[in-house]
A and B are shown apart, each in its own frame.
Chain A
Amino acid sequence: MDELELLKKDWKKDEDSKYPKLSYNEIYKMILKKSSSIVKWIFIISLLEFAFWTLISLAFKGTEYNKRFESYHADNIMIPLMVIAYAILIYFFYRFYMNYRTISATDNAKVLMENILKTRRTVKQYVGFNLIFMAISAFIALGIQFDRDQEMISLIENASANGEVFKFYAITIIITIVFLGILIAIILGFYYLIYGILLKRLNGNYKELKKLEV
């Protein structure tokens, strides 16, 4: 006999006595409990990501560095940057929320997986955007400092008196790049870990389904 037929024969036998019978009250208690689904975790982590980047920009305000920066009178550059950052935050959050709302356990398995991955991708793009934005801002800030920071200007003057102005610029820029690189690597590593653990199974199953379509 076909293996599966044999299995089916057993599967169908004594269905009513084989499984536990939960009572009305037991089921009632269950629906009061909280879900621990993967979607819920992605939602929580995504909210934390949005909060993290917003807090970072807020925490930056009022610091010593920020006060010094205000003395450069570079508002015409910094305010547009802030506006862009917030506009993009709102855009991403809107897209994230709309994606999140389309996730439904009543879709077929493949669509459900796609919708979850889409939600995740939006947040990933947001993080990517922030990293690029952070790098660009750092260089704009560096440019402003070269131009307007008294301490920096006197250092540049000293360096050019010694004929090492090129070396000075090069070292400053390289230090900035290395610093940014390390920061980005840490942040990316962190994401890789969290989502690697969280989405490993989903990604595997999704790939399996995709494989069938080829």
Chain B
Amino acid sequence: MNKELEHNFIEELEKNQNIVHKVCRIYTNNQEAHNDLFQEITIQLWKAYPKFRGDSKFSTWMYRVGLNTAITLYRKRKRSIKTEEFDAFQYKLSSEPYDDTEEEQLKLLYKAVHQLNDIEKALVFLYLEDKNYKEISETIGISEVNARVKMNRVKNKLRTILNP
């Protein structure tokens, strides 16, 4: 029984692992931190899995546990992250060529997102993942109206960072 549970879980996670990678991408700045957070989210998912009833999709449930881990549960194993590593670690931007200004703007945007606080990052992440405000409000635990208001503030904040 336990083996079966384990097997199902690993298969599901293997299939949907991009969600976890994307949470890590929003919340971390270097490879080591990415792996560390990925590890912790995996453990939290596995610990919560017996309670996963299947009344929501596995992927929907992953968003919740993943974000909860990143925002609340996660504690870095290693404290020191050297600042030089920050810039060295960058995800490939899309292979399709952008024009120079757009590519430059994207780099700045990702940098700006990393300057947001944990809650703002969660909002941006869910927005990028095409979640509607109802889902966003349910995942974070604020009202839909407040989620909209906050989202607008975040957009403005990003705009100011980009066009000072």
Binary contact readout A87-100 vs B (1 if CB under 8 angstroms, 0 otherwise): 00000000000000
B residues less than 8 Å from A35 (CB atoms):
40, 43-44, 47
Docked complex Cα distance between A12 and B130 (Å): 10
Total contacting residues, chain B, CB less than 8 A: 68
Asked if A19 and B96 sit within 8 Å, CB to CB, the answer is: no
Closest A residue to B110 using CB positions: A7
**Given A3-B155, A20-B21, A24-B10, A39 and B142 contact (CB-CB distance below 8 Å):** no
What is the minimal beta-carbon distance from B68 to any residue of chain A, in angstroms?
5
Query: Contact at A8–B10, with CB atoms within 8 Å?
Result: no
Number of A residues near B (Cβ < 8 Å) is 52
Q: Determine how close the nearest CB of chain B comes to the CB of A204; give it in whole angstroms.
A: 8
Q: Is A28 an interface residue (CB 8 A)?
A: yes
Identity of the chain B residue whose Cβ is nearest the Cβ of A113 in the assembled complex: B72
Decide: B146 and A37 in contact? CB cutoff 8 A. Answer: no
Tell me, yes or no, whether A176 is within 8 Å of chain B by CB: no
Contacts of A34 in B (CB 8 A): 43
Q: B114 to chain A: which residues have CB within 8 Å? A: none
Inter-chain contact total with CB atoms closer than 8 Å: 165
A105 and B44 in contact (CB under 8 A), knowing A3-B109, A4-B155, A13-B94?
A: yes
Main SS at interface, chain B: helix
Contacts of A213 in B (CB 8 A): 142-143, 146
A106 lies within 8 A of B61 (CB) = yes
A105–B68 alpha-carbon span in the complex (Å): 6
Query: Which residue in B48, B106, B159 is a CB contact (below 8 Å) of A104?
Result: B48
**B68 to A112, Cβ gap below 8 A?**
yes
Per the bound structure, the CA–CA distance linking A18 and B19 in Å amounts to 12
**Once the chains are docked, how many angstroms separate the CA of A142 from the CA of B124?**
61
Measured CB to CB, the closest approach of chain A to B17, in angstroms, equals 6
Closest to A34 in B: B43
**Interface pair B65/A106, CB less than 8 Å apart:** yes
B92 touches A105 (CB 8 A): no
- Known A6-B106, A10-B93: A24·B74 in contact at CB below 8 Å: no
Interface residues of A (CB under 8 A from B): 2-4, 6-8, 10-24, 27-28, 30-31, 33-39, 41, 104-113, 116, 201-202, 204-205, 208-209, 212-213
- A-B interface, 9 closest residue pairs, ranked by CB to CB distance from nearest: A110-B141, A108-B141, A19-B21, A13-B94, A37-B73, A31-B46, A30-B42, A35-B43, A11-B128
Interface contacts beyond A105-B68, A105-B69, A208-B118: sample of 14 additional A-B pairs, CB < 8 Å, sorted by A: A7-B124, A10-B106, A13-B95, A13-B96, A18-B91, A22-B14, A27-B17, A31-B43, A33-B43, A35-B47, A110-B141, A110-B142, A112-B68, A205-B71
